[in-house]
Structures are given as C-alpha cells and as structure tokens.
Chain A
Amino acid sequence: MAHLEEALAEKPAILNEIAPADLPRVPLVANNRSFAWITEKVCGIAEGRTPVWWWWCFGVACFVASFTVCGLIYLVSTGVGVWGHRSPINWGWPIVNFVFWIGIGHAGTLISAILCLLRQKWRTSINRAAEAMTIFAVVCAGIFPVFHVGRVWYAWFLFPLPNSNWIWPQFRSPLEWDVFAVSTYGTVSVLFWYTGMIPDLATLRDRAKVKWRQIFYGVLAMGWRNSSRHWSNYEMAYLILAGIATPLVLSVHTIVSFDFAVSLIPGWHTTIFPPYFVAGAIFSGFGMVLTLMLPLRAVYKLEDLITQYHIDCMCKITLATGSMVGYAYMMEFFIAWYGANPNEGFTFINRAFGPYAWAYWIMISCNVITPQLFWFKKVRHNIPLVWILSLFVNVGMWFERFVIICTSLTRDFLPSSWGYISPTITDIFTFFGTFGVFSVLFLLFIRFLPIMPMAELKAVTPQADPHAGHGEHH
C-alpha cells in the first residue's frame, strides 16, 4: 500500500504547469460534523421536551383538521349536493383536491427511490421527511375520491370482491385503475418509508430512557441489532423496494391522468396527459418539500444537514419540471390547433380567455413563470424567497387541476348544457381542513419519529469516506 501511495503522491509534472483550479466536492454534511453530533441532532428532535410552538401548531392543525371531519359528516348525512357540483360539472373541487394531493405525494418516493437508484446522495437528508409527506398526502388525497361518491357506504363495490350476483368491477374504468394504483402506491410508500426507518428506530430504542418509549420504539425496530447480516438484508430489501417504487412513481400519476385522458371530453381527451401529469406531480411534490423543509431546517437548526446545496438541487428540479409543464401547456394549444377539431380548439381558447381565464392565468404565472426565477443563483440562495416561490408552485398546481377539470367540463360539446361551477363553503372548508389533517400527521411525525435517516447521513459525511483527509490530494 505504501508503495502505491508513494507512487500516487508523485504528481505528474504537467499539473504544476497548468495549475488546475481546486474544485472540491460540496460536502453533503457541512462543518465536518461528527457521527455523534448527527445522532444527537436527529434523535434530539424526537427525544427532547415538546416545544411550546409544537403544541400551538398541533392545536391549530387539529382545529383545521376538524373542518374536514365536520365537512365529511355533513356530506355523508346530507348528500353530495352540499358541494358545488352541478350538471355538466360532475367533478369539482374534490377531484381537484385529490389530484392535487396525490401529485404532492410524488416527490417523496421519487426522492427516495429514483434518486436512490441513481445514487444521488444528496437525497439522504430530505428523503425521510419527503416520504412522510408522501404518505400523509396520499392519506389526504384518499379522502376525496372515497367521499365524493354519492353513496360512500357502498364504496367497497370498487373492490373485486366475489359476490353472489357475480358482479365484478368494471376493469375498463380508469377510476378502477385508480383504486389499484393509489392503494398500491400508498402501500409501497409506507413499506419503503418504514423499512428505511428501522435502523434509526433502533437507535431511538437504544437511547430511550422511559419505559413506553422503549416499548414503542422497540416494537417498531423489529429487533434490529445492527449486525452485518441485518445490514446486508436491509440494504438488499431497501434496494428492491426502491426498484418496485420507481415505476410506481411514474404509474400513479399516469393512471390518475387516465381519469381524464381516457374520457372523450375536449380538454381531457389528450395523449400528452401521462408525462405531463408526472412532470407536474414531481413539480408540485418538490414545491411541497421545499415548503415543508425550509421551515423545519430553520426551526431545528438543520443547516448543516440540509445545506444550500440541497436547496439548489431541489430548486433545479423544480425549474426543470416546471419548464416541462410549461412546455406541455404550449403543446396542448399547438395540438388543439393542429388537430383541427373545432371542439378541442374551442376548449383551449376558452381556457385562456373564457370565464375561467382568471384561473388559467394564475396557473400560468405560478407554474410557468415562477420556477423560471430559479435560473438565478441569487434567487436560489435567498431562502425566504425560495420558500415563497414554493408556495406559488403549490397554488399553481392546484389551479392546474382546477383548470383541467373545470374548464373542460363547463363548456363541452353541447352549448345548451354549458354551466359554471363555483364552490360552496363546504367545498372550501373540507379542502382547507385537509391541510390540517396533513399538518397533524406531519407534526406527529417530527415529534416522534427520526425525521432524517441518521445511518444514511453518516454514510455521506466526509468521515465516512475511507479516504477521508486524502481527497484533496487527488
């Protein structure tokens, strides 16, 4: 070995001549933090005293979540009519909200699975929270398609259960595909999230001083003993799950987009929807990750773990997917014109200039114009601005779904049936309440579970590198 080192130590003469600039890799954990520091930092969040702000946030979140609960009780007891749907527009806010939430649920698994497979190590500090976000978003998303049906107590008809009448679900219906796609996605996301958490749960178990914590984390850690065999099995399981989850990231929103693309309503019936929806979902997912992680980073002082580099990466993905979405918007117009179907052409002109023009232009400004600011380093480095822009992305993506669903349905083939949908107070409150549901779950998550994968973080620190300290010489 020594011989080799010596040989390598000898710099080629040419290097002295051209004097290459020193381009160190940006460390994924800043300030050369030790393993112990990382453990203390992440476990400390779950183990420390419950902060006062947490209680305040939790209280407010519960209150907001009660809006959804009350809205749904009212809905089920009274009828779907309490929402603003009407004859030509039989899907309104609930389906908009469903697609919105399910879109948000995309970033988590994308970060965990696809970036894992692509060996993007910067994913480590954000993947746990992003996965949690995914699951909670899927929970919020799941509320809407279930409760928007007229007779929710028969929603189990959607499942292919054997029955004496020999009636099966309609397997040609995209809604039926949705049932499988979303439930599979939810299940795999939970498994993936949980599997990734096992070593960290064991750490928490080992550090726990109170009985209930020992039992709670002990059960969740499933007897993890940190043995090499465990690590070997764990890593293989994680890799396989990443492999399973990767196509799901693409399939779920593709299938959600089929709800529209498979129908024949102008403005829905387009082949561009699957890629466009997936891009949009990743776009909105990253918007939401930024919206959540930036405050978390500030509150728990996680700047060393979620570095500027991470934020840059997320901004760039947002920029890329935002541009894809913008391209899709243009392409829809082009095809509507090029296809020369007058109904199709009308729908798109109507989208941009008709009664819902306001929604369309909100969508365009939030989804196409906003992310373009991320071209600028100054913008990406201005954390409050990034956070505000991420909010715009979220708003824009809600409006995208609104525009697709509502403008297409309000003015379709027969002008005699044209209408206009506006939400009722129940629509608005039920949707608003889901942010409460989401927040409640997310607050519980940051309070009780390791919000970052400690084991993986340690693996990407400079100390974990066997060549630590030598890197700069190469």
Chain B
Amino acid sequence: MKRKPVAPPAPNERELTGPRYWRSLDELADTPGFREHVEREFPEGASTLEGVDRRQFFKLMAASFALGGLGLAGCRRPESYILPYSKSVEGLVPGLPLYFATAFPLRKTALPLLAETHQGRPTKLEGNPSYQPYGGASSLMAQASVLELYDPDRATTHTKNGSALDAAGLNDLLASVGKKHAADGGAGLAFLAAESSSPTRARLVARLRQKFPKAIWSEYEPVQDEPPLEAALTAFGAPVRPVYRFFNAKRIVSLDCDFLAAEAGNLLYSREFARLRRVRSKSDEMNRLYVAESGFTLTGSMADHRLRLASSHIFALAAALAARITGDQSYAKYAQGLEVDPKWLDACAADLLAHKSESLVVAGAHQPAAVHILAYAINDALGNIGETLDFLIIKPPPVASIGDLAAAIKAGTVKTLLVLDGNPAYNAPADLDFPALLKSVPEVIRYGYYVDETSQLAGAHIAAAHYLESWGDARTINGTVLPIQPMILPLFGGVTEIEVLARIAGEEAVDPYALVFATVTQLAGEPDAQAAFAKFLHDGFLHDSDFEKIPVELDRVRAERLFAAMSAPVALSKGNLEVRFAADYKVDDGRFINNGWLQECPDPITRLTWDNAILISPRLAKELGVDPPSLVVKVARRELADFQKGRENAFVGEVTIGARTVRGPLQIQPGLSNYTIVLPLGYGRADGAVGRVGTGSGFNAYAVRTVEAPHFVTGATLTVVAGARALLANTQEHWSMEGRDLIREANLEEYRQHPDFVRAIGLEAHSPPIYGEEGAKLSPAERATEGPAVRGNSLYVTPTFKGPQQWGMSIDLNVCTGCNACVVACQAENNIPIVGKDQVSRGREMHWIRIDRYYSSGSTDNNDIPEDPQASVQPLPCMQCELAPCEMVCPVNATVHDDDGLNAMAYNRCIGTRYCANNCPYKVRRFNYFDWNKRSIGHFYEGPLGPDGMPELVKMAKNPDVTVRMRGVMEKCTYCVQRIEAAKIQHKVKAAQAGNPADIIVPDGAIRTACQQACPVEAIIFGDILDPNTAVSKLKAQERDYGLLAYLNTRPRTTYLGKIRNPNPAMPDYAALPLSRVELRNKMGPAEEGEGNREPTTSGDHAALPSAAKLGGLS
C-alpha cells in the first residue's frame, strides 16, 4: 500500500512559493507590525469578546444562516467553497487514500503505525507491517487515537491569564522563561513532564540541563507499565530494561503481570505469546501459562493455571518459587505466612525446571523491585536470560520524581513551573495535594492537549498538537526509533513539546522537523542524511536502532537488602482489604477519557462501558450483603449484578484508606482474590475540566492513592452506602454459557487424541449432516459452490455463489486474548457511531464486532457465583451465513447475498422492520434507533428539538468509503466490503496494466479486514475459501474448525477454531476437562459428546476421559 521512497529533487524557493506578489509596501518591507497583522486573523481582542466564545459565535451564526435560509433557500443553490490544490500532494490520486508511516507514543514506548489519509485528513490508523516485531498489529488505544485529533473539546487556543495568545505571543512567553532563568542557572525553574521515549526530547532535555544546571526536570506517570528501574540497578548495577521473548517460552509464570494488555510492549508480547499458543496439528508445541494475580486481567483470563493471590502476597509467592527453583533455601524465609497450596508451587516449579532456558517468569510492573529481582533470580537459575529474557541498556538521564518536585515547591524554590502533558492536578498522589502546590508557584505554564484540572490552575496554557499533527520521534520497547509524521497542519495551531523545549532552551532551530531531522540523522550516522531520513520516514522505523543487549550478573548482596525491607504477607479480611489501583483497559490513566470510541468499548473483563466500578470478589460481596437478589426459581445461572429492567443497578460502596474515602458503584468480579478490591483509575474528572464525552463518567480512584503505595495498599475498608444505587451500562448481562456448545474447548491431551473434538460437541453432533451425506465429505470450497444436492436437500433454493472468489473468515479462539482492538478498529473503519451511556444501558450499542466473555465454573448450580472461574472469549462479527436467516425475512429485500458470499446490506432499501435482527441467531445486527450521527448524545429523546449532534470537526474522522447510516436502518459487519472492492479494482488495474486482464483473482492477503489488521495475535484470518491454498482455507480445513450454532443450517462463512487449554496434570487445580465442557456434560448429559457425525476413524473412546462426577473443581 505504501509508496516506494522517491528522493525528490530539492525544490527551489520559487517553486515552493510560486511567483511573489506583495499587497502593500509593508509586506514588501516585512515590518513587524505587518507580521503581527498577518498572524492575527481578527483584530486584537476580537476573539476574547466578552460573553461570546468562538463556539457560541458559530452557533449564533449558524442559526441566523438557517433562518435566512428558510426564506431564501428556494431561490438559489447553497454557496460552498472548494480549495483546490495549487500544488498537488506527491502521489495523490483523488479518491484514493494515502498512507504515511508514523507512530503512536505512549509513555516510554510507541507503536509503529501507518496512517490512512483522505485528501489530507487522517481517518484510520493501522500497524506498520514493515516493522517485523509488531507485524502490523495495533492496539485498542492506538486505533482510537485518531478520534482525539478531531475532538471538539480539545484546547484550541494558547492562553495566558485567561486571554488568548497568538503564535508570536507564545514564542515570546517561552523565550521569556528561558531568559528569566538563564542568569541563575535555572534555580527557580522546574519541569514536570510525562514520560516519553523520544530521542529528540531526550536530546533537548540534555540541552536544557546544560543551560539550566540547577533546574528540576521531573517526570511523573500515574501508571507504571515497565519494571522499575530500581530493580535492574539493584540486581545488576546497570540501567537495563528487561524485554521478554515469549516466542521461546514454553512455560510462563506471571507474577501479577498483565503482559498481554497492561505492560509496556504488550503488543509485542501478545504476538510472541500467541506463536506458541497457536496449535495447528497434533504434534505442535503449546506454551503453558501460570498466572498468580489479585485482579482479573486479560493475561489471567488466558491462564492454564490461575492462582488468586493478593498483590501484597506476590513477593512471598515469588520467594517460595525462587527457593524451589534455585534450591537456595535462604529465599524460603521470605515465603513465610504464604497461604498457597505447596503442591501448586511444587508442580509449577517442577514444570519450570523441566523447561530450562525455554521458560519465563515475569513480574508485574506495579510490583516492588524485590519481586522483579526474585523473578530475575528465577530466570537466571533456569538459564532463561539471553534465551527468553533480554536486558537492553537504556541509559536513562537522571530524572527527579514528583515527590522531589513537591518538596522543592514546598520549600518555595520553584518560581516557574512548566507542566508538560500529564495532568498532575488530577492524578498526582493525593497526599501531595498537588493542586495546592500548583497554586503556590508564582508562574505555572501548562502544555497540554486539554484544558483540564492542571490547566485551570496554571497561568498560561499552551495548546498541544496531536501526534498526527506533529513532527516527532519515539522508540518501541526494543528501542527502535520510529518517526512521528504530521498528517495535517495543526487544526488549532497547537505546538509540539519538542518545539516548546527548544524555545525555552533558546535553540537556534526550533522547527520540530529540523529537530527530529537532526536527531535521527545523527542516530542513523549515514553519510547521506537526506536519503537516510527519507528512508526512515518511508519505512516508518530506523534500522538497527535497537537498544543494545548486554549480559548481566545478579548481585545477591544488594538484592538481599531490598528483600529484607519487604514485610511478610498480612492476612486479609473484610476489615483489612487490599486495594489494587490499575490502569483502566480503555481510558488508561485517564488520558483517553474524552474518547467516545474507548468509553463505549466494553471493558474486556467487566463488560462495563462509560464507567469504572469498585471490583469486588463474590465472597466479599456475600459478606457485605451486596450479592444480587436471588429469585425463587432459577432457570439460569444467577446474575453477577442486580439487573432491573435489563439495566445494571449497582450497589454503591465507599472505600476508605487511611483518612481518604472514595465512593463508587460496586461490581462483583469472579476470579478476584477474595479480599482484594480493584479500583480502575482514570475516571471521575472534575466538571468543566473535561470534555463532553468524559463528563460525569466514573469515580476518581486517584483520590485515595498516596506516594507510598501507588499501586496496591492494604488496610482498606469497604462500606456499603445504604440505599444508594448507581446505573451501570453493562453490555453483557449474562456471564455463563449455560452449558451450551458456543465456545468449544478441550485440553491439549484430548486434542492430541481427538483433533476433531469440536465436531463431537454440541447439537450438530446429533443432527443430520448439514451439507448432507455427500456434502460432509467436501471441502469448504466445494460446499460453498456445489448445488442443493449437497445442501441437505433443503426445500429452499439456496444461493448459487458464482463469484470467482468466495470470502470467508476463520477466528482462532485459542489465541484471542479479548483485547478489543478489533472492536475499535471496526468502529474507525466503518463509521460506527457511539450512542452514550444511557443508550448502551438500554442495549443499543452499535459495535459490528463484539467480544463475548463467558465464565465457567464446572458447576451447574444456578445459585452459584463462581469465585474461581475459567474465562473464554469469542469475537463475534457477522457470520455471513450462506443460508442467512436475516435475508429471507426482510420484506423489502434490503439484505441480500452477493455472488462472493457476502451477506450485504442495502441501507437505502432498508425500512427498518428489524425482523432480520430478531432472526439473527448471533445477534450481530445493529439498529439505528435514533439519528446517532445527527443528534447529540444525551439529547436523543428530544428529536428535532434537541441540539444538532456531531460537530463539523468530528465528521472529519469519518471514512469516506463507508456510508454514514441514518436513523431507522439496520447495519452490520460486511467483511469490510469497501476494502474488498478497493482491492479488486486495484488488482484489476494492475493486471490490465500487466497485459493480463483476465486475472481477476485478488491474491491472498491483499485484502485485510479492519479487525484482522488490528489483531495483534492474528486470531482473525480472512480470505478466499475457493482457493485451498489461502490462509483461511487452510484454517478451515483444520479439524478444530466449527461453525457457531451450525445445527441451525445457517452455514456460517465465519467459523471458529476450538480453544485448547494446556493444564498441567500434576497441579492440584488440574481439571481433566475444561470447565465449560463439564457444564455442557452436566447439562446435556454425556451423550452430548462422543457420538454423532465424528468421523469413524477418530470416533473416540471417551471412557478415557473422566466423567463430570469425577472431576474436582478448582481448589
């Protein structure tokens, strides 16, 4: 998709500017007065007009135009203006998107991206496939970040003391900071910045240090996503970053480490983890994941053995494991008081020892350094270092902490404080009382994307540019340098952080492009700087710029000091709870709170949208008396929450830690350590300090966080607020599969005995073969095109699929982590609207692909809420059924099949009977109950009397290749038909140019659906099922391939690969059958498995499998 690099001849000045004309003698003379006049669009003071801000002005103007239009619109065409390119963008073909490499920076890492731009406006971000380690994957947040660019609530002006500042004024302000502190070496100057991986910023910070040696440079991130540097410094005496190499790790132990979703580098880790998870044949190896954790994370949900353990007990667990692995019994003393079945530890340790140099023990970033050192020691003993664990030298410059800065402010030495990004007034530890500190600093300058709590306390606010408007650079977890390229001019004149720093430092070059150019060409060290830089921008990364790998040696003596400082595990109870502060899976530390796509994306574990909740274990809920009411007769498993009229009506609780209290809705979360409560961070923003989307969402867990215990703390209490209830928008009310055959699972041993286990599970195992006796023997390709004879002799005339290519999809349930990247990628690609909390709570969310999450406990007691469940996830796009139940019931023929086997939707024809959605057994059709695109969230019920919805700015984020649907029509996944068609056209053009117009077969892999493209673990594969050599055909030929609810004879084109678990038979919590299968057996009887259409060659001896009655539950 990308263009080949063409080093353009450097344009001369005349070419750049065209013939030069001047409007006045002032311009010719270029006087400062004239410059100011040009900079200002309006006369001085115009934009600060009392009482009327910009937005209101436009509203008034729009209203008067509309009124004017009422009388006159009939007489003439509406006036509109186009701005043609006087010089076209290189390579631009009108109507076709252009792709540019850029990167999404987040804390100390970044993701390489390709940005899709339409006529100069970025609409969709995709992973950069050229960067091998990430392989074109992208994350949920990266996918959603394009919406932030068009956020109408972002800071749109630079301000000083409440009045607007133009570009020149801003430059003066920044220059004055530098000048003011130049004399005293920066003694009164302090910076509080967010973490960054940018080499240019590092270079500029070094320059600042040179110039202002006494200035304080502090960095603060509320969320820790990297192992603490202290651990590396103590253990090895070197500033190194551990990077895990999961693709070699056959046995993995996670000590409270959510490496699949929350740790820096999680995208890389997910991809590599999936490599040994992806089982394609009986002989394939599969990794085994042990997880000990307090909360329930995505990593925990993938575990083969999961131990619920308080975060504060993890150190003891690590010590116990270290003692067993290293044989050094001196570790055992730190494990005293640990209440874990020794058999668990013994079996786990034995398994690790059996896989020396191909195992890996990882500790959560939030865990203290001592735990990390224990993990390093274990890995060292197992010979993993250098095999599955690399240490990269990162040479970080010295950085002060926010605590140091606070002390300096208290001491009164800080005269000028620059807060660069972050939002300390909101998320700094509560005991620092940062808002008060900010007020005490004489001059606070804030650089930020939003006018938030911190900006409100600052004298000046500098509007930041979005990364898609900026020149910059960043590094991946491996250290590879990535370019950040602007796709568009700053929409509101925002500036980049490096420009701000350069101006303060008084650099000669302040242009961000020049700054990045200088950094990168220096790093590249190539003789031809221009060419090197062009290649860097084209490839989207700098070759051979990784951090250096170094050998390390563990220093036991220094480590011992840290160990000794750790306290023994404290017994937890209802009166002494542990609180775990965790970054939210969607809004992170709160930085994405105003992003509607993320807010409306269901939390992968709790399935909540638009809010956070105090997560409590089922046992704690019972002790507090907040478990949901129990019906007299239960026909299904008891709900996790009190659903009233289909909306979650949550109890409200108050968490008290020391003298601080926070109040929020309670949510029961199976799988939590009994007395650990989880407080997701990032919500509960002050009114007026956040945009419209983030207003009123959740509670602020930062209010109870201290410097001492930023990640977890014990000694908390939780009280239930009597009588109070809160509405939560939960997208999945029911948590149990109810013993149905939806996600088909087996353990690895069973899979090896019966690779076709999926076919022996469920109703198709008993129903007549869906494709008839004949059809059962055919390949998917033949089934798709053969006539009705192989179609079970259905009475209905079945579609004949005449297209040369037949589209299908395969989803591997074994590697899907449920990260939600596909959900938001689909939202961005297909212009899917958001509907707001109220409408989500009414069950009207619009996602075309959703991820169902089920818990299984192995029990069928309807009164039981599992404390220790197994989780399974299932992404659900449209199945594109060959015999689509939705099509035959649509009275107006609005949903029909096309020749390529797509279940297409003609929006123009749809009148909205919603019969199709009723008859869809997968419930993947979504209805536009209101004009989501035209009306504002929260005003849907006001109809035409309500305010108009989407600001012009947000419309710019829409994909021009996809219709924006109006109210009253049904919509659904189309396998990204716009991408299919674009690829077909492109291929036809190419083939015709190559003199081969008959070639109309788009090669495999040329079309990637948005969900497939985003998926970091490549769980979703799309392609042509007619060709047996495509990736999708090969997967569909797998014995693990099954269709969801296929006994309905829907013949879904999207099929699943069954899930395989790999438990260790030596473990005390070993279950010989996945718990969902135990439930299936209990409910349907053992006859549900083993007979039916299974091929005779493999029809198995199921007596070998223990019966449900013999299976022990988990501990």
Contacts and interface: CB of A to CB of B under 8 A. Distances in A.
B888 A172 contact: yes
Contacts of A91: 914-915, 918
B843 A86 contact: yes
A262 B970 CA distance: 21
B968 A87 contact: no
Nearest to B845: A87
B724 interface: no
A170 B889 CA distance: 8
A355 B642 CA distance: 12
A81 B940 CA distance: 8
A79 B646 contact: no
Contacts of B921: 264-265, 412-414
Nearest to A91: B918
A79 B931 contact: yes
Contacts of B739: 342
Q: Which of the listed residues B643, B943, B970 has the most CB atoms from chain A within 10 Å of its own CB?
A: B943
B777 to A, nearest CB: 26
A84 to B, nearest CB: 8
Contact of B889 (A150, A151, A262): A262
Nearest to A78: B943
Given A88-B923, A170-B893, A263-B918, A79 B930 contact: yes
Contacts of B944: 77-78
Contacts of B853: 416
Given A150-B928, A151-B911, A173-B890, A87 B843 contact: yes
A352 to B, nearest CB: 8
Interface stretch (A153-161, A278-286, A432-440): A153-161
B266 interface: no
A150 B910 contact: yes
B732 interface: yes
Contacts of B893: 167-170
B923 A87 contact: yes
A422 interface: yes
Contacts of B940: 78-79, 81
B734 A174 contact: no
A300 interface: no
Contact of A357 (B633, B733, B968): B633
Contact of B919 (A80, A81, A263): A263
Nearest to A354: B635
Contacts of A150: 910-914, 927-928, 967-970
Nearest to A409: B918
Interface in B756-790: 763
Residue among B633, B843, B922 with max Cβ neighbours from chain A (10 Å): B843
Contacts of A158: 891-892, 911
Q: Which of A87, A154, A264, A412 has the most chain B CB atoms inside 10 A of its CB?
A: A87
A170 B906 CA distance: 13
A80 B968 contact: yes
Contacts of A176: 891
A415 B734 contact: yes
Nearest to B643: A420
A174 B889 CA distance: 6
Interface in B913-965: 913-915, 917-919, 921-923, 926-931, 940-944
B121 interface: no
Contacts of A63: none
Interface centre among B633, B738, B915 (most CB of A within 10 A): B915
Contacts of B889: 170, 172-175, 262-263
A154 B636 CA distance: 41
B943 A265 contact: no
Interface in B1065-1090: 1083-1084
A188 to B, nearest CB: 22
Contacts of A355: 631
B1048 interface: yes
A418 B734 contact: yes
Contacts of B645: 420, 422
Nearest to A145: B913
B928 A346 contact: no
Contact of B911 (A88, A154, A418): A154
Interface string B736-749: 11111010000000
Contacts of A414: 742, 852, 876, 921-923, 1045
B842 interface: yes
Contact of A78 (B844, B890, B930): B930
Nearest to A413: B921
Contact of A415 (B740, B909, B929): B740
B854 interface: yes
Contact of B967 (A79, A155, A346): A79
Nearest to B742: A414
Interface residues of A, number: 63
Contact of A79 (B876, B929, B1045): B929
A422 B643 CA distance: 12
Contacts of A173: 888-891, 915
Interface in B879-896: 885, 887-893
Nearest to A158: B891
Contacts of B919: 263-265
Interface string A300-332: 000000000000000000000000000000000
A173 B737 CA distance: 31
A36 B931 CA distance: 63
A80 B911 contact: no
B171 to A, nearest CB: 50
A415 B736 contact: yes
A206 B55 CA distance: 73
A353 B763 contact: no
Contacts of A343: 740
A132 interface: no
A341 interface: yes
B245 to A, nearest CB: 35
A239 interface: no
A19 to B, nearest CB: 62
B891 A179 contact: yes
Contacts of B1083: 342
Contacts of B969: 150-151
B930 A265 contact: no
Nearest to A90: B914
A467 B488 CA distance: 101
Interface in B828-876: 839, 842-845, 850, 852-854, 874, 876
B257 to A, nearest CB: 28
Contact of A157 (B643, B854, B911, B914): B911
A412 B636 contact: no
A414 to B, nearest CB: 6
Contact of A151 (B643, B910, B929): B910
A355 B635 CA distance: 9
A84 B942 CA distance: 16
Contact of B854 (A81, A350, A411, A415): A415
Given A350-B635, A419-B646, A86 B891 contact: no
A350 B843 contact: no
A421 B647 CA distance: 10
Interface string A121-154: 0000000000000000000000000001111101
A66 B737 CA distance: 46
Contacts of B968: 79-80, 149-151
Interface in A158-205: 158, 167-170, 172-176, 178-179
14 contacts: A79-B940, A81-B839, A81-B929, A86-B646, A88-B923, A150-B913, A150-B914, A158-B891, A174-B889, A259-B915, A412-B921, A415-B636, A415-B736, A418-B733
Given A174-B889, A175-B891, A421-B646, 13 more contacts: A79-B931, A79-B968, A87-B927, A88-B843, A89-B843, A150-B970, A346-B635, A354-B635, A409-B918, A413-B921, A415-B636, A415-B738, A420-B646
Interface of B: 631, 633-636, 643, 645-646, 732-740, 742, 763, 796, 839, 842-845, 850, 852-854, 874, 876, 885, 887-893, 909-915, 917-919, 921-923, 926-931, 940-944, 966-970, 1045, 1048, 1083-1084
